[in-house]
Amino acid sequence: MKSNLLPSLLLGISIIIGGYLIGDMHKKAKVYDRHVEVKGLAEREVEADLAVWPLELNLADNSLNALNSKLDNQKSRVNAFFKELGFTENEISMGVSSIIDRQASEYASNQNFSLRFFGKAEITLRTTDLKKIQLALEKSLALTSEGILINSKNGWRPIEYIFTGLNDIKPEMIEEATVKAKEVAEKFAKDSNSKVGKIRSANQGLFTISDRDPSTPQVKKVRVATVEYLLED
């Protein structure tokens, strides 16, 4: 009888201890799982420090030699025009010219073109002097009086303004965003009668650079830092 009772007694004790441990672990897990995810936002408004203006010349002619000559002459004149406005050799990039024989195209067998050859030359201005490139945009129409029409490759928004100093302001913005996230977490903890514990996890987030508005080269950087804090009762 005693020999049958002992295994049952041990089994019962094991079940009780196991249940206690499981319950304690569940309680601790619930406590650990009490966390709040908050986001801190840091913004800066800065001036772009680089401007790029991609241009192209488009010409057509029935004579291949004449078209080549026109492209070379217009490229030289445009190059000289921008140098007159203060651009250096390093700020002017003269791209390779290309010519298409439209009658030689496989889709042109039944088409008659008034001008057979089409030529294109690409030119790019790249400078840190924003006022100079804006002046060049204003003055560029003067070339039309010489029979030269330059086209902006970007259409209605010809000049691309770029901010290259993001790495210089990253640390300060990350710090500011993290402080703001902590403030939000403390407010949340206060409202829930808790207090902020350790950081559960942190995500640097994503830096974005966008124009302040369509009419200016200034940009706004938005830094969002996501931080999860533990809450303590």
Q: Which residue in the block uniquely carries the two structure tokens 């201005």?
A: 125
Nearest to 115 by CA among 53, 57, 186, 60: 60
* 217 touches 47 (CB < 8 A): yes
The token pair at 147 is 């029979």
* 35 touches 230 (CB < 8 A): yes
Question: Model's pTM, two decimal places?
Answer: 0.73
Q: Distance between CA 227 and CA 181 in Å, rounded? A: 7
Asked whether residue 120 carries a pLDDT value surpassing 90, the answer given is yes
Maximum mean pLDDT: which of 125-129, 151-155, 226-230: 125-129
pLDDT tens digit sequence for 70-106: 999 999 999 999 999 999 999 999 998 999 998 877 5
Of the candidate ranges 45-49, 62-66, 93-97, 153-157, the one whose mean pLDDT is the lowest: 153-157
Q: Distance between CA 177 and CA 172 in Å, rounded? A: 9
- 213, burial (CB in 10 Å: exposed 0-12, middle 13-18, buried 19+): exposed
Q: What single DSSP character describes residue 99?
A: E
Q: Distance between CA 179 and CA 177 in Å, rounded? A: 5
| List of domains in the chain | 33-47+164-232 (3.30.110.170), 50-162 (3.30.70.2970)
| Confidence band for 59, pLDDT divided at 50, 70 and 90 | very high
209 sits in the region (left: phi over 0; alpha: psi -120 to 50; else beta) called beta
